[in-house]
Structure 1
Amino acid sequence: MKKISLAVLSLTTLLAACGQPQTSPQSPAASAPSVAVPRTHALDIDPAQVVTTKNGDMYVRNQLVVNLRGHSADALADQLGGRVLDQLPELDVALIELPQGKDARSVGVALMREGQVLYAAAQTVQRQIEPVRTAQDQLGAQAVNQVFDTLPQYALDSNHLHAKAAWDAGFTGKGVKVGVIDDPSDVSHPDLRPNWAGKAYDPATNTTYTTVQGWIDAIDGFDGKVDNKVDPGIEHGTAVASTIAAAKNGQGIVGVAPDSKFYTAAIFQPGFIGDYLVARSVIWTVNQGAQVINNSWGGTGYSPLLKQAFDYALERDITVVVSAGNSYREEWRNPAQLPGVIASAALDINNDKAGFSTYGRHVSVAAPGVDVMLASPLFINADGTRKTGGYTKDGGSGYQLISGTSFSGPYTSGVAAVILGAKPDLDPHQVRRLMEETADGSVGSNKAGFDRETGYGLIRMDKLADRLKGSNMPQKGGAGRVKVEIQTPGGYVPGILADVILEGDGADGAVYAVQTDSDGYANFVSIAPGTYTLRVATPDLTLTGGQSDERDTYVGKLTVTSGSVLSTVAPQRVVLVKGAVDLNPVDPYEPNDTMAEAKPISYGKMTELAYIFGKPRDVDFFSFTGKAGDNIQADVHARTAIGGSLDSFLVLRDASGKNLAYNDDANGQDSVITFKLPADGTYFLEVSSCNILCKSNGDDASKGQDDDSPFNKYVLELQLLK
């Protein structure tokens, strides 16, 4: 995955075309401007508001995504003291900017606990899966059967995807439209222009472009400058689109579904974007009539908005393909962990798992993803003028060798288009199972079938073609619902933010994971029929913070029936006895807001769970006795160590109140001070939030911002070092 710094976040400003009216996804497409302008828009993300959690997830502190349950977005924003930035009527979702000092995660949990909304969560930041650069910069020796127009493409040959066997049988994806949700695709490229479906979308301005020149002019401003040049880093979407739909036109390369058409929705400009604009792009793509949606991006963490957006597609029988990720390890990535999607791993030229390819039981199939030949943008000629046609191979202009699950994913999307071109009535699960049932399972660690590295194996289009000639199709997918409740002294309450996992029986059983909403429901759409092991744990401590013994767990069974849908399936009830979210916790050390009220701590001790909570600018004091020369270390275990929302700030003071040392971040967002005491006496440790104390280096909380959250949890530890 692309690693980004907060400096990169400023690149999320998008275009606002001069004189360009904004249009809804259902409105007639606007005519495009002839002159590009730098982009600014109301949905900009302030870098200072981006928070990184203990797991490396990133969210926007002051932006709240809310499913309104039909309520007024303006009324809710007024209640919170914020303002509505935008709404998605198809999902009944609003994006609300919160006032200074409010944390979207804790505000969202409070709204869910009170049942005001179906879900409320901070906007998460998703990342583009960055190509993996290899040392190879030459095409090298290629076999004759690897040339499909004029350039060699080993991925399509008879040792890999066997594309020609499907094409020769008449299966080319004709009549199928694929949505490419990525950075901007160069629709002027000679291999892409013939199969562009005629619409390109900028979700930041909610603008649809319908001419090649209009879209290219719009892209000119994506790097924040209008200079007739496009940021050379904007290559990802062009490569992805060409994997799927490059035309078989006697030049360059060929896409795996050469008669399919594609839409481009530009969510990365460049690098990453918040999940709100991803959801908007999914809705737009669905509403254009796409039958497949490709997603070569992802991150860690869970986004209820992305879950709802993909369910919007899946419930309309639109196949959703995602790249597994380039993390080199076994883990779940978002959205690859979501039910109903097809997660694709990457193989190298030898049909071995690519070293970078993320793996796990959620992987479905694998496709080539190392040094694959794909298109690259043709925006600028050597003399600086815009290219209007033709292509060259010198210096990589027009084509490139590129690696990553970003490209195994669209090979999989293209194969989905080939399937739907032949069998348009198949649902997303049937498309997935056709690929799995005809895959070459001999690749990967289990030569007899499924393994976590490559799923069911290498996609084989020749075997797919044989199946598509007949009528023997897999059974339809189904839906499942789980309702989690927590038994409290006052009765049953919904188990919000519970992790709910379905594990298919056997080593090759599919795995799906979601979180519960404010009613305690977890929904699974378009998944494999059968009996699953159901695992539930609540609450999600990465969000609320706390200790593992605060969670309760459940293990049972759940059965999904072929053809079942959410609107009619009966939910399975799960009752837990721990895990109700506490919005009014009691700090065992309060009052300790001044040095005079400081609570004692001694060497070798840790406090109980404490809170920066109860008033807008809470500070907590602890006192200890030390001797001259004592080498002490004080650790605040907070968001990085135990979860929750506290970005801690720690100050060491002497008996007069003098600031001897302070620390913000030592290991992520937690604070550590190591210090040699200058004299015998009493010393004080002051714990608070960086939002309150960072700007003043701990000397004047009045200069900071409010931070009052029940999830501002921490444990203070004091040690005497040798």
Structure 2
Amino acid sequence: MKTLRLLFLGLTALLAACSQAPRTATPPANPGLLVSSEGIRHFQGQVVVGYQDETALQEIVAKLGAKELARIPELKAALLQVPGDALKASRALKGLPGLRYAEPHLAQVVPPKDDPVEIPRTRASDLSPLGNPADQLLDALPQYALDPRHLDAKRAWDLGFEGEGVTVAIIDDPADVTHPDLAANWAGKAYDPVTNTTYTSASAWLAFINNNPNIYHGTFVASTVSAPRDGQGIAGLAPKSKFLPVAIFQPDYVGDFYVARGIVWAVNNGAQVLNNSWGGLGYGNLVKEAFDYALANGVVVVASAGNSSKDEVRTPAGYPGIIASVAADGNRNKTDFSTYGRHVSSAAPGLDVLLANPTWLGGGYGLISGTSFSGPYTAAAAALVKQACPGATPYQVRRSLETTTWERTFSREKGFGHLNAGNLADLLRRGCADLPSKGAVVRVKVEYFNENGLFPGLLADVILRGKGLRPGDAADPTPVYWARTDLSGEAWFYEIAPGEYDIYVAGADLSLTGGLPEERGTFVGTLIATSGSTAANPVFKLVRLNATEVNLNPTDPYEPNDSPSQATPIAYGITTQLAYIFSQPRDFDFFAFTGTAGDEIRARVYAKSSIGGTLDSYLFLLDAAGNVLEENDDLVPGQITDSEITFSLPASGTYYLVVTSYTIASDLAASDNSPFNKYRLELVKTN
């Protein structure tokens, strides 16, 4: 049990206020303030919505009493400022006609500067080429990553594949467009998605950066791709490509809405490849739709797998259609820090690679490690394909890279192997007709049905698992893709491998919503993902599940019971109906009972551990004067998070049981307002 006496400053206030008027509405949010609620990091008071048309958007704005801050017309998405809690506001929209999704303005991504990888900077004069093999000198300084034993860049260049005519967007912190080893290949534009400003002046872009010492990552990344072969410093793998900076870290993460706006801007401004050396955990509808927009427009999307050292799926690397890159060391083995798994595509150098250091931090070059740099080597290899075959689809580009690696076999640690630009060039010079087959686009629509009717299949998980997958086989390349349905019940899979799939669909996760397994509903079937299917003409699958509708706005039958004067009566031998710690940021539910001196009582909260849902409960027993007699967090610490109190009543009279969440009880400033914070309260006399 965790003793939280500090909470009773809050409970005492409730007791003292029992005769006061109801609490006022939540004050307006502080724009730009980052908060974390239910484990979701987001901007306070900001909601992102996807809408079908202008009428639907205006109805959404009116329902929330919101102010529209910005929109992305291409995605039919808008950023709204709402007067209350963003999580609650987004859930209040469920069922509104024309709404595709609603979510808080997410900020789950970890800034690149927080990657657990050292960045040892050095001066160019300290990087003597004398101790290096001659084949590592491809410009002025030695680069093992490009030599014939790694990326084999010179063979590709000698065959004419240097990325000429291809623009790669560097979606990162602001890259240095004035660095002597980058200026020549700047595409002439740079973008701040927060202010929606396109910069065409290098000096104005530098003024925007303002010599910020925490901005450097994008410069390293850009030089991986586009540093020219000009006799100074280093060369990128695509030394004749152009780079297009998009500033999504300034230096902190600007939020999913602005990232999506940056992605759309890059696509609309001529990028053929997007590099994303960033990521995190969680799932965002808007960012996925932005990448889907890129893929639907034939733009290749590359993402670093992550630096977690784990076999896990991080986003955006795990979204369907995205090329996920693993970091390799000097022996072409996966580095110890690299994330890996079935979803990864290939590996590229990511340990102690030599890259350009921003001029505002002294210029020159530095040795740096991370999947942040294997990713742009992969994006540069994609640029070589786009140079040779501008019409190549994202999936064709991916498979071109995968079928020309050193190993050409699959493992969870390196995908299809370590990239080899020389082998890739051999494929490209044979002509575009020899590229692998085009990918597929699949649209799955999920609906729930039960005795109450037919409902959109929101919060459903959809998995496409290639036929013949061998579970547990680390060398099995059979593809697996996952997506979550939006509020209309749709899930899209862009640019995936063509072929036959087992499709698995499950209704909303019971560990989140609570309930019985039979209420979730599942479906198993098959579909054929046809090569060449497109966003305009996708493979379509309708799935109907016999499942319980997900309720994002449940009604607590006992509210209002937020103070002793409003307490719900309860008696021995009673278990309440389903109730919720919901509808306000800090909810305390009061239940009153009458006991006799010497009564041995047991009060039990059945919550997350027993009925599912999200409530980690906390239970208090108070006497009539509001004194705390007993409290409990976990029935079995570390195992059962439901709460239970056993107690012998000292006198006859009125007592109160107060149910809340551990999150609220442990922090006077914390909120916990999930529609899945469900519980039942049981009171029994045991003597």
Shared fold per TM-score greater than 0.5: yes
CA–CA distance in 1 between the matches of 2:240 and 2:247?
Answer: 22
Q: Is residue 599–residue 621 contact of structure 1 (8 Å, CA) maintained in 2?
A: no
Larger Rg: 2
Query: Residue in 1 aligned with 2:504?
Result: 535
**Aligned AA for 2:412?**
R
Instruction: Pick one of 535, 550, 563 that aligns with 1:566.
Output: 535
Post-superposition CA distance 1:276-301 (Å, at most 9, x none): 01001001101111100001111111
Which stretch of structure 1 is more off in the superposition, 345-354 or 112-121?
112-121
Partner of 2:135: 145
Q: Which residue of 2 aligns with 1:58?
A: 41
The CA deviation string for residues 8-43 of structure 1, in whole angstroms up to 9 with x for no partner, is: xxxxxxxxxxxxxxxxxxxxxxxxxxxxxxxxxx99
1:190 aligns with 2:177: no
Match of 2:343 in 1: 362
2:9 corresponds to which residue?
A: none
Gap change, CA 1:684 and 1:87, over 3 Å in 2: same
CA pair 708-160 structure 1, distance change in 2 beyond 3 A: closer
Name the residue aligned to 1:18.
none
SS at match of 2:70: strand
Question: Is the 8 Å Cα contact of residues 638 and 715 (structure 1) preserved in structure 2?
Answer: no
* Residues 1:246 and 1:678: Cα distance change in structure 2 (over 3 Å): farther
Q: SS at 2:658's partner residue?
A: strand
CA contact (8 A) 2:613 2:677 kept: no
Shift of 1:255: 0.6
Is structure 2 residue 491 aligned with structure 1 residue 512? no
Of residues 447, 456, 475, the one that matches 1:494 is 456
Cα deviation for residue 128 of structure 1 reads: 3.0
- What is the CA-CA distance between 1:610 and the residue it aligns to? 3.2
- TM-score if structure 1 supplies the norm length? 0.78
C-alpha contact (below 8 Å) 1:502/1:512 kept by paired residues: yes
1:278 aligns to what? 259
**Aligned to 1:198, what secondary structure does the other structure show?**
coil
Measured in 2, the distance between the counterparts of 1:541 and 1:276 equals 29
Q: 2:568 aligns with which of 583, 597, 600?
A: 597
Kept in 1: contact 2:512–2:612 (CA 8 A): no
* Alignment correspondent of 1:108: 90
The residue type paired with residue 285 of structure 1 is: A
**Partner of residue 713, structure 1:** 678
**Which whole-Å CA distance do the structure 2 matches of 1:44 and 1:197 have between them?**
33
Alignment of 1:473-488 (within 5 A): 473-488=435-450
* Distance in structure 2 (CA, Å) of the matches to 1:415 and 1:143: 23
Secondary structure of the corresponding residue to residue 99 of structure 2: coil
The answer to whether the 8 A contact 2:591-2:658 is kept is yes
What pairs with 1:129-528 in structure 2 (closer than 5 Å)? Answer: 129=112, 130-134=114-118, 142-220=132-210, 229-231=211-213, 233-379=214-360, 391=363, 398-441=364-407, 449-471=409-431, 472-505=434-467, 506=469, 507-528=476-497
Please state whether the residue corresponding to 2:110 is helix, strand or coil.
strand
Deviation of the 1:147 alpha carbon? 2.5
Measured against aligned partners, the alpha-carbon deviations of 1:342-398 in whole angstroms (never above 9, x if no partner) come to 1111111111111121122111111111111111211155xxxxxxxxx5xxxxxx2
Amino acid aligned to 1:81:
G
- What is the CA distance between 1:660 and its match in structure 2? 6.4
Does the CA contact (< 8 Å) of 2:170 and 2:275 recur in 1? Answer: yes
**CA distances 1:544-574 after superposition (whole Å, capped 9, x unpaired):** 4666664222222121111111322352111
Q: Higher mean Cα deviation, 581-590 or 272-281?
A: 581-590
Indicate how the Cα distance of structure 1 residues 407 and 673 shifts in structure 2: closer, same or farther if over 3 A, else same: same
For residues 478-526 of structure 1, what are the alpha-carbon distances to aligned partners after superposition, in whole Å with 9 as ceiling and x for unaligned? 2111111111213222211211111223321222211112321211112
Matched residue type, 2:407: G
The structural deviation recorded for 1:318 is 0.5
Cα distance change of structure 1 residues 467 and 43 upon mapping to structure 2, 3 Å threshold: farther
Letter in 1 for 2:326: A
Letter in 1 for 2:244: Y
Q: Check 1:614–1:131 CA distance in 2 against 1; reply closer, same or farther (3 A cut).
A: closer
Q: Is the 8 A contact 1:633 1:672 kept in 2?
A: no
Q: Counterpart of 1:88 in structure 2: which amino acid?
A: I
| Secondary structure in structure 1 of the residue aligned to 2:49 | strand
The answer (yes or no) to whether the contact 1:494–1:519 under 8 Å persists in 2 is: yes
User: 1:248/1:648 Cα in 2 relative to 1: closer, same or farther (>3 Å)?
Assistant: farther
User: What are the residue-to-residue correspondences of 1:669-708 with 2, within 5 Å?
Assistant: 680=650, 684-688=656-660
Task: Give, in whole Å, the separation in 2 of the partners of 1:566 and 1:154.
Answer: 41
Provide the C-alpha distance between the structure 1 equivalents of 2:478 and 2:676, rounded to a whole number of angstroms: 36
Q: Structure 2: 5+ residue runs without aligned partners?
A: 1-28, 470-475
Alignment match, 1:39 = none
**Paired residue type of 2:298:** D
Deviation of the 1:606 alpha carbon: 10
- Secondary structure at 2:314's aligned position in 1? coil
* CA displacement at 1:196 relative to structure 2: 0.7
1:637-689 CA distance string (max 9 Å, x none) = 56999555x69776553442125688999999x99999998984686442346
- Answer yes or no: is the 8 Å Cα contact 2:225–2:377 preserved in 1: yes
Partners of 1:659 and 1:633 in 2: how far apart?
A: 15
Where in structure 2 are the equivalents of 1:524-673 lying within 5 Å? Answer: 524-540=493-509, 544=513, 550-583=519-552, 585=554, 587=556, 593-595=562-564, 596-597=567-568, 599=570, 610-613=579-582, 618-621=587-590, 644=614, 651=620, 653-659=622-628
Q: Are 2:60 and 1:94 aligned?
A: no
Cα 1:196–1:93 shift into 2, 3 Å: same
Q: Corresponding residue for 1:80?
A: 64
Q: 2-side partners of 1:291 and 1:627: how far apart?
A: 78
* Distance change >3 Å, CA 674–CA 498, structure 1 → 2: closer
1:131 is displaced (CA, Å) by 4.0
Task: Letter of the 2:496 partner, please give it.
Answer: I
The unaligned stretches of length 5 or more in structure 1 are 1-41, 221-228, 382-390, 392-397, 443-448, 698-703
With 336-345 and 574-583 compared, the bigger mean Cα shift is at 574-583
Structure 1 distance, partners of 2:634, 2:491, is: 36
* Mapped partners of 2:632, 2:61: distance in 1: 35
Q: Return the alpha-carbon distance in structure 2 between the equivalents of residues 551 and 496 of structure 1.
A: 11
SS of the residue aligned with 1:330?
Answer: coil
Q: Paired residue for 2:102?
A: 120
Asked if the contact 2:140/2:232 (under 8 Å) is kept, the reply is: yes
Give the direction of change, closer, same or farther, for the CA distance of 1:711–1:160 in structure 2 (3 Å limit). Answer: same
Amino acid corresponding to residue 179 of structure 1 in structure 2: A
Same amino acid, percent of matched pairs: 47
Question: Secondary structure of the residue that 1:524 maps to in structure 2?
Answer: strand
Shift of the 282–616 alpha-carbon distance from structure 1 to 2, 3 Å rule, reads: closer
Is 484-493 or 308-317 further displaced after alignment? Answer: 484-493
Within 2, Cα distance between the matches of 1:350 and 1:324? 19
